[in-house]
């Protein structure tokens, strides 16, 4: 058993049920589990294998990213997609999605999850929905790359079952194809044990665009295998209009009719909600992942975070979404933008900084269906982030530690990240891999002629898009 002491932190922000804050606090963890959180703990135990001096640090639970698309890292900052809203953006994007290969998956993980970790994350989701026909190892590649980095990972086997104006036949699969691959991934990688490092999920990208048969199969699969269901919900104006026109109700109500809400489910975006939708989300205890940067970039709107919280939604988190729509995977940026966006939307009754921090800690854990992460307390996983707020960048604003993190903070604040008891970031550098080597590898894959040729297809697709009347 390896015992570690984190001592003399300026503040420990526990994010426990009573949101305790401990001044000049200590944490003791043994192997991958927290044993005690308090003060003056050095003399309480007979030995330590390591002592971490946290003077000048704010210590928080490791941050949790509840929605991501890692493979998009190599296709961000593309001129042809800038200024587009979601549906035309997707139309162009799928010209690349239909030709993904496993090296792109690996490079995407290095870039995007590496970015997440260096901004304080110890846990991340990944929703993988484009699966080119005949390519079977994309998710295997990303799961193995995530394990190499040392992050706690929740990959979701998503799918498309219907060809549309956006979704090409090259990424459409059968029910048997989806379910058999999902079963293989669950059998190979899913770990149901406490403190597990990988839990596989399943879900449609956008449920109302899929067949009802595959949706029923998805719910049955999730229940039979005890896994979570994740996808997108109420993200765009077009999606809301499409659902009203075709089904006569909102996306949330359509999901509710098809048994796609509940404690096993969590959805990204959840922007276009009316009051009844919010009551349904609360009553069913469905999880929500807000993605403010991506939603702003694609002009999709803003998640009604404060209204959801006021309605009793506890399963609410933040996600960085895809690097092609957020153009980074920086969870601290998401926190600050979320706070500011809520100030704009709610005026003098916005979410507090502590509300936002809840979303990337205890709230994010609830979203993913976990009770072993998200807070600093005995018997919780040793997922811990140390933030250095005694820097010139934050001088003059070191009054309240949570305010400093959320309102003034950025990734430069992240000093050390501990995941499952292991230092995965130290002095702002990844520790389990050669960061320069992974950077060079990612740039090499990004500069390969196969990927570069895809950028030409952006322009061609965008030209043809001008003549399209519908999106789906």
CATH of the domain at 14: 2.30.40.10
Domain assignment of residue 472, yes or no? no
pLDDT value at 470 more than 60: no
pLDDT at position 468 is: 45
Do 123 and 15 share a structural domain?
A: no
Provide the 3-class DSSP secondary structure of residue 340: helix
Do 125 and 9 share a structural domain?
A: no
Count the neighbouring beta carbons within 10 Å of the beta carbon of residue 177.
15
| 75 — pLDDT class (breaks 50, 70, 90) | confident
pLDDT at position 472 is: 52
pLDDT at position 207 is: 96
| Helix (H) or strand (E) run with residue 4 in it | strand 3-13
pLDDT at position 12 is: 98
Token pair for 106: 């690996």
| 467 — pLDDT class (breaks 50, 70, 90) | very low
Do 70 and 55 share a structural domain?
A: no
pLDDT value at 456 more than 60: no
Do 54 and 86 share a structural domain?
A: no
pLDDT at position 286 is: 98
Do 390 and 352 share a structural domain?
A: no
Domain boundary (391, 408, 429) is at 429
pLDDT value at 328 more than 80: yes
Do 51 and 116 share a structural domain?
A: no
pLDDT at position 95 is: 85
Do 211 and 350 share a structural domain?
A: yes
Domain assignment of residue 468, yes or no? no
Mean pLDDT within 140-146: 98
Mean pLDDT of the chain: 93
pLDDT value at 399 more than 60: yes
Contacts 24+ apart (CB under 8 A), 452-457: 454/75, 454/95, 454/96, 454/99, 455/78, 455/80, 457/95, 457/96
Percent of the chain with pLDDT over 70: 95
Domain assignment of residue 141, yes or no? yes
- Answer yes or no: are the C-beta atoms of 147 and 114 closer than 8 Å: no
What's the CA gap between 104 and 102, in Å, rounded? 5
Domain boundary (336, 367, 398) is at 367
pTM comes to: 0.95
pLDDT at position 96 is: 83
Domain assignment of residue 240, yes or no? yes
Q: Find, among 163, 180, 98, the residue nearest to 132 by Cα.
A: 98
Strands (E), 31-169: 33-38, 50-53, 57-61, 63-65, 121-128, 152-157
pLDDT at position 460 is: 47
Do 310 and 197 share a structural domain?
A: yes
- Which residue has better confidence, 25 or 89? 25
| 408 — pLDDT class (breaks 50, 70, 90) | very high
Mean pLDDT within 79-96: 86
Collect all residues with Cβ–Cβ distance below 8 Å to 147 and sequence separation of at least 6.
Answer: 153, 197, 198
Mean pLDDT within 299-306: 95
CATH of the domain at 121: 3.20.20.140
pLDDT at position 229 is: 98
| Number of domains observed in the structure of the chain | 2
What's the CA gap between 15 and 108, in Å, rounded? 31
Do 96 and 15 share a structural domain?
A: no
- Positive or negative CA dihedral for 208, 214, 216, 218? negative
- pLDDT, one tens digit per residue, over 427-441 is 999 999 999 999 999
- pLDDT, one tens digit per residue, over 231-260 is 999 999 999 999 999 999 999 999 999 999
pLDDT value at 452 more than 60: no
Each residue of 367-387: b (16+ CB within 10 Å) or e?
bbbbebbbbbbeebbbbbbbb
Domain assignment of residue 458, yes or no? no
Domain assignment of residue 183, yes or no? yes
pLDDT at position 446 is: 83
Strands (E), 340-470: 384-388, 414-419, 422-426, 429-430
Domain of 297? Answer: 63-367
- pLDDT, one tens digit per residue, over 30-43 is 999 999 999 999 99
- Answer yes or no: are the C-beta atoms of 14 and 27 closer than 8 Å: no
Domain assignment of residue 341, yes or no? yes
Domain assignment of residue 459, yes or no? no
| 454 — pLDDT class (breaks 50, 70, 90) | low
Mean pLDDT within 203-221: 97
Do 210 and 89 share a structural domain?
A: yes
Do 86 and 56 share a structural domain?
A: no
Percent of the chain with pLDDT over 90: 85
pLDDT value at 462 more than 80: no
DSSP annotation of 31:
T
Do 348 and 410 share a structural domain?
A: no
CA–chain centroid gap for 235, Å, is 16
- pLDDT, one tens digit per residue, over 124-142 is 999 999 999 988 899 999 9
pLDDT at position 465 is: 47
């Amino acid at each position: 058993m390896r015992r570690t002491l984190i001592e003399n932190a300026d503040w420990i922000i526990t994010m426990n049920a009573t949101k305790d804050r401990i001044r000049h606090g200590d944490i003791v963890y043994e192997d991958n589990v927290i044993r005690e959180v308090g003060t003056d703990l050095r003399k309480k135990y007979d030995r330590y294998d390591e002592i971490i001096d946290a003077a000048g640090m704010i210590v928080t639970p490791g941050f949790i990213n509840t929605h991501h698309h890692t493979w998009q890292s190599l296709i961000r900052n593309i001129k042809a997609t800038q200024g587009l809203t979601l549906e035309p953006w997707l139309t162009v994007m799928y010209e690349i999605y239909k030709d993904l290969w496993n090296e792109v998956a690996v490079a995407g993980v290095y870039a995007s999850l590496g970015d997440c970790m260096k901004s304080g994350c110890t846990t991340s989701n990944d929703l993988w929905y484009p699966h080119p026909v005949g390519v079977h190892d994309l998710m295997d590649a990303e799961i193995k790359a995530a394990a190499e980095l040392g992050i706690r990972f929740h990959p979701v086997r998503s799918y498309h079952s219907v060809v549309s104006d956006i979704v090409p036949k090259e990424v459409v699969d059968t029910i048997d194809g989806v379910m058999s691959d999902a079963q293989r991934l669950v059998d190979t990688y899913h770990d149901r044990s406490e403190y597990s490092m990988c839990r596989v999920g399943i879900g449609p990208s956008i449920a109302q665009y899929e067949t009802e048969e595959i949706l029923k199969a998805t719910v049955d699969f999730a229940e039979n295998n005890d896994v979570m269901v994740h996808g997108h919900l109420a993200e765009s104006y077009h999606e809301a209009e499409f659902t009203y026109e075709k089904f006569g109700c909102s996306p949330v109500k359509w999901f509710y009719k098809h048994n796609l809400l509940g404690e096993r489910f969590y959805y990204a975006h959840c922007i276009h909600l009316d009051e009844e939708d919010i009551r349904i989300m609360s009553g069913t205890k469905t999880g929500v992942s807000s993605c403010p940067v991506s939603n702003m970039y694609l002009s999709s709107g803003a998640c009604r975070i404060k209204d959801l919280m006021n309605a009793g939604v506890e399963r609410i988190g933040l996600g960085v979404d895809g690097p092609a729509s957020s153009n980074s995977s920086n969870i601290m940026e998401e926190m600050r933008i979320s706070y500011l966006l809520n100030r704009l939307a709610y005026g003098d009754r916005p979410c507090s900084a502590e509300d936002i921090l809840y979303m990337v800690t205890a709230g994010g854990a609830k979203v993913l269906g976990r009770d072993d992460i998200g807070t600093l307390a005995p018997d919780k996983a040793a997922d811990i982030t140390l933030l250095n707020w005694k820097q010139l960048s934050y001088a003059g604003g070191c009054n309240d530690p949570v305010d400093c993190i959320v309102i003034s903070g950025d990734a430069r604040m992240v000093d050390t990240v501990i995941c499952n008891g292991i230092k995965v970031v130290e002095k702002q550098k990844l520790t389990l891999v050669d960061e320069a080597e992974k950077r060079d590898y990612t740039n090499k894959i990004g500069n390969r002629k196969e990927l570069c040729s895809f950028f030409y297809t952006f322009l061609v697709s965008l030209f043809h898009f001008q003549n399209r009347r519908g999106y789906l």
